[in-house]
Amino acid sequence: MHGPGWTRRRVGRGFSYRDETGQLIKDAERLDRIRSIAIPPAWKDVWICPWPNGHIQATGLDAAGRRQYRYHDAWRARRDAEKHERVLAIASELPDVRDQVAAALRTRGPNRERVLACALRLLDLGTFRIGSEEYAEENGTYGLATLRREHVTVRGERTFFRYTAKGGIEREVEITDRPTATVVRQLLERPDDAGDELLAYQLEDGTWHDVTSDEINAYLKEVSGAEITAKDFRTWNATVMMAAALAEQPPPRSRTARNKTIRAAYVRVSEQLGNTPAVCKASYVDPRVVDRYEHGETVADALGEAAGAEDDREAQKVLEQAVCRLLSV
C-alpha cells in the first residue's frame, strides 16, 4: 500500500526492526527516529517509512483491526492549519444554514427534511459526534446518527441524552430547544416496530427510514451549498467554546496563571465535547485562539454583548462573529 518500508517484530518484551531488504536495523540514529514516532506497542502489521520526511511515518492495525497512521509533525501541522482556515471560512455560512434549518423545523410531520433539520440543530447545540453505524454495532458506542430511542427522554422543551460515546465515555447532554424537542417527541412516540434508532423519517408509504451519518452530511452540504461536514460543526463549536472559556477569566498575572487558565479551558471544552483535553487540543480547537489569549486578545467584549441578546441564537451569532474577527487578525 505504501511501497517498500521497514517492519517491526516482537522480540521478548521489546521489538526489533528490519529495513526494506530484511536486514536488522542497528543504526542508533535510525532507531532513535523509530522511537520518536511513538508507534503503539499493541499495533500489528506495522509499516515504517524509510524516509524521515515522508508525510506518513508509520501505519499499523490496532486491537480492533483498523488501520491507523502516524503522520509527520510538519505535515500534520500544515493540514491542521488548512483545516482551521477552511472551518473559519465556513463559519460565515452558518447563519444561513441555521435559518434554513429553522424553516424546515416549522414544517409538520416526521418528513425527511424536518428530521434531518432536527439532526443538524442537535449537532449544533449538543456538539455531538456524528456517529458510525460500524462503531455502534461492533463497540456499543454511539453518536447522533446511531442513538437509540432508549438513550433519549423529553420533558417539555428539554431533551436529555444519556449514552456511551466513542472511547467508552458515558455522555450526558441536555438541550433546551422547543422545535427539536417537538420532533424528538414524535420520533419517540412512533410504533415499536418502526426501529430502535432515534433518528428516522417517514416515507410516503408510511414506512420508516433510519437516518444515516452519510445522509446528515449530505443534507448539510445541500442546505449550505458548501463542502461542510458534521465534524466541521463540532470543530467550529469547540473553537468558539474555547474562546469563550478563556475570555471569561480575568487577565493572568503570571505565566503560571496563564497556563493554568489554558489547561482549565481545555478541560472544560473537552467535557462539553465528551472527549479528553489532549484530543480536544490536537483535533478540534483552533490553536490561534490560545495564541491570541497569550497575547492579551480575547472575545470578552462580545461575551457581555451576547449576555444581553434577545435569545440564544442571537447570542450565538454575536459570539461567533467575535471569534471570526479574533482569528482573522
Band of the pLDDT at 197, cuts 50, 70, 90? very high
Q: Is residue 90 part of a domain?
A: no
Among candidate residues 329, 129, 103, 307, the one with its CA nearest the CA of residue 213: 129
The residue out of 56, 71, 86 marking a domain boundary is 71
Question: Same domain, yes or no, for 315 and 259?
Answer: yes
Give the CA distances from residue 90 to residues 111, 128, 144, in Å, rounded to whole numbers and listed in that order: 27, 18, 22
User: Position 22: which residue type?
Assistant: G
b (16+ CB within 10 A) / e for 17-40: bebeeeeebeeeebeeebeeeebe
pLDDT at 2: 66
**123, 154: one domain:** yes
Would you say the C-alpha torsion 241, 242, 243, 244 has a positive or negative sign?
positive
Same domain for 219 and 104 = yes
What cell does 32 get? 532513535
Answer whether residue 248 shows pLDDT above 80. Answer: yes
CB atoms within 10 A of CB 136: 19
Same-domain status, 200 and 136: yes
Same-domain check for residues 220 and 244: no
**Cα 316–Cα 322–Cα 324 angle in degrees, nearest 5:** 100
* DSSP three-state, residue 33: helix
Q: By mean pLDDT, which of 12-16, 67-71, 74-78, 208-212 is the weakest? A: 74-78
149 with 100, same domain?
A: yes
Please tell me whether residues 107 and 162 are part of one structural domain. yes
pLDDT in tens, 216-235: 999 999 998 888 888 888 99
Do 196 and 257 belong together in one domain?
A: no
| 114 located within any domain | yes
Residue 27 resides in a domain: yes
Is 266 buried (19+), middle (13-18) or exposed (0-12) by CB count in 10 A? buried
272 occurs within a structural domain: yes
Of the two residues 15 and 83, the one the predictor is more confident about is 15
Same domain, 148 and 63: no
Domain that holds residue 100: 96-225
Q: Is residue 85 domain-resident? A: no
**Residue 76 has what pLDDT?**
78
State the Cα–Cα distance between residues 258 and 221, nearest whole angstrom.
39
Looking at the fold, whether 260 and 296 belong to one and the same domain comes out as yes
CATH label of the domain that carries residue 139:
3.90.15.10
For residues 161-173, average pLDDT: 90
Residue 155 pLDDT exceeds 90: yes
On whether residue 174 sits in a domain, the answer given is: yes
pLDDT-based confidence at residue 265 (cuts at 50, 70, 90)? very high
pLDDT in tens, 180-190: 999 999 999 99
Please say which residue of 225, 242, 272 terminates a domain.
225
Q: What is the pLDDT of residue 274?
A: 87
Residues 176 and 104 in one domain: yes
Distance of CA 30 to the CA centre of its chain: 35
CATH code assigned at 47? 3.30.66.10
Considering the domain boundaries, does residue 79 fall inside one? no
Per-residue pLDDT, 63: 84
pLDDT value for 41: 93
pLDDT at residue 317 is higher than 90: no
Q: Answer yes or no: is pLDDT of 84 > 90.
A: no
Question: What pLDDT is stored for residue 207 in this prediction?
Answer: 93
Q: What is the pLDDT of residue 223?
A: 92
Residues 108, 204: one domain? yes
pLDDT at 148: 96
CATH number at residue 260: 1.10.132.120
Query: pLDDT tens for residues 87-146?
Result: 888 888 888 999 999 999 999 999 999 999 999 999 999 989 998 887 787 788 999 999
Looking at every residue in the chain, the average pLDDT score rounds to 91
Q: What is the pLDDT of residue 233?
A: 87
The better pLDDT of the pair 264, 94 is held by 264
From 204, 225, 246, the end of a domain falls on 225
| Position 306 confidence tier, pLDDT thresholds 50, 70, 90 | confident
| Number of domains, the chain | 3
Percent of the chain residues past pLDDT 70, beyond the cut? 99
Cα separation, 264 vs 282, whole angstroms: 16
pLDDT at 236 (0 to 100): 94
pLDDT digits (tens, 9 = 90+) for 268-287: 999 999 889 999 998 999 99
Please name the residues in contact with 187: beta carbons below 8 A apart, sequence gap of 6 or more.
Answer: 110, 115, 149, 198, 199, 200
Residue 46 lies in a domain: yes
